[in-house]
Amino acid sequence: MYKAFKLSYDSLENDSIRECLLCCALWPEDYEINTFDQLIPCWIGCSIIHEFNVINEAFAKGCSHLESLMAASLLEECIPKGRPLHWYGPCVKMNDVIRDMALLMVSGLEGNKRKWIVKAGIGLSDLPRQEEWQEAERASFMMNKITSLPEYEANFTSSKLSMLILCQNEGLKIIPSSLFASIPRLTYLDLNRCRIRELSMEICSLNELQYLDLSSNLITSLPAEFGCLSKLEYLFLKNNKIMTVPYGTISNLSMLKWLDATTEWWWDELKCFKGRHQLSVRIYIKATTDNIEQLNMLPNVSVWELHLDGKNISELPNYDLGTPQWGCRVSDNLESLNIRSIRLDRLVLATGMDGESSFGCLKKLNFFALEILEEISLNRVLTLQPS
């Protein structure tokens, strides 16, 4: 069986696609992996996909790799169980046998130089002993029942560990500061959907960190030292309770390429951002005219996904999306527009007719709780009129 898998694996077009396949084994057995929210961001964070100007290009390359893996029957597309496809998005699964073969390749056995520790979704309440993963390059402990991490001794160092995944351990509230000191080579840290309330200033000791996912926690503030993560390229902060951040916390991240945030503080930080790359953002903002126009004023920022929330707003902007307020900084690379709780009866979407907004990349237009919406038109042509 291993030889048959190895033959299919070796027949893939290039090393990047082969590495993409191995990454799928980081998830639990028989797990439906969301391609846009989980899998492709993982490939980007691992630097498998790294040469791009805006995040749209990275996702296009990721979709191409997915097609190659599915064409080789090494991944299968699936419909998420009990979750509407239109809001959860497409998923893929890895056959259990293929996953076992992939894990064998990265287990340190069979003369392989690499070593991964994957104990995902198996009900762990504690991390394995330090000795078990001290020599690992990647470690995935996602979707377990871990509620606390031990304090690490000063002489414990995992000098090879570049990836640590602890996401969806929903009882994990505290990350001990000693952990950061023990993993100096870490480039990828996923703490999504835990119950973390704060980060210690020692996080700045992760000098090599490039990918950090803190989404869906209970974090209320970021330490000022956060801005010292000089190599950070991908930062996910959405669904936290952050209201303000110290000046320079985000704007000083000169290597940042992608920011995902539910924010009240976005304007002050992003208007001062002077990164080396154009920053792609997935951003959640109040649906006011000022907020939309401010997005157009941000230098070196490209909006990739925009969520507008009109709840508790009395003065609403003009939702003719061809007007100047929807200028090129907002519209040119926008792939997903989500509009929620806005009292409007007509929405006009214009694609480049006036030279201001193009929406040429728009793939998803989602509406939530628009109780009085009666019609939508595209380039002034009526496309939807409920009876």
320's tokens: 């003719």
Displacement of CA 340 from its chain's centroid (Å): 21
Distance between CA 254 and CA 209 in Å, rounded?
13
287's tokens: 């649906």
- Residue 258 pairs in a beta bridge with 234, 280
Residue pLDDT tens, the chain, 387 long: 778 888 999 999 999 999 999 999 999 999 999 999 999 999 999 999 998 988 999 999 999 999 999 999 999 999 877 665 555 678 999 999 999 999 998 986 655 567 999 999 999 999 888 778 878 999 999 999 999 998 877 667 788 899 999 999 999 999 998 889 889 999 999 999 999 999 889 999 999 999 999 999 999 989 888 989 999 999 999 999 888 788 889 999 999 999 998 766 777 888 888 888 889 999 888 877 778 788 888 888 888 998 888 876 655 555 556 555 566 767 788 888 888 887 777 777 666 555 455 677 888 888 888 777 777 776 655 555 544
Residue 361 DSSP SS3: coil
Instruction: Please tell me the predicted confidence (pLDDT) of residue 65.
Output: 97
Q: For the chain, percent helix, then strand, then coil, each to nearest 5? A: 25, 20, 55
**For the chain, where do the domains classified as CATH 1.10.10 start and end?**
1-114
* Residue 202 DSSP one-character state: G
C-beta of residue 206 within 8 angstroms of C-beta of residue 181 = no
- What is the radius of gyration, based on Cα positions, of the chain? 22
Element (H, E) at 170: none
pTM: 0.91
Instruction: Please tell me the predicted confidence (pLDDT) of residue 322.
Output: 54
Instruction: Please tell me the predicted confidence (pLDDT) of residue 211.
Output: 98
Architecture of 1-114 per CATH?
Orthogonal Bundle (1.10)
| Total residues belonging to the chain | 387
- CATH superfamily label, 116-258: Ribonuclease Inhibitor (3.80.10.10)
Short-list 303, 253, 263, CA closest to 282: 303
**For the chain, where do the domains classified as CATH 3.80.10.10 start and end?**
116-258
Instruction: Please tell me the predicted confidence (pLDDT) of residue 99.
Output: 97
Find the angle CA(272)-CA(220)-CA(153) to the nearest 5 degrees.
100
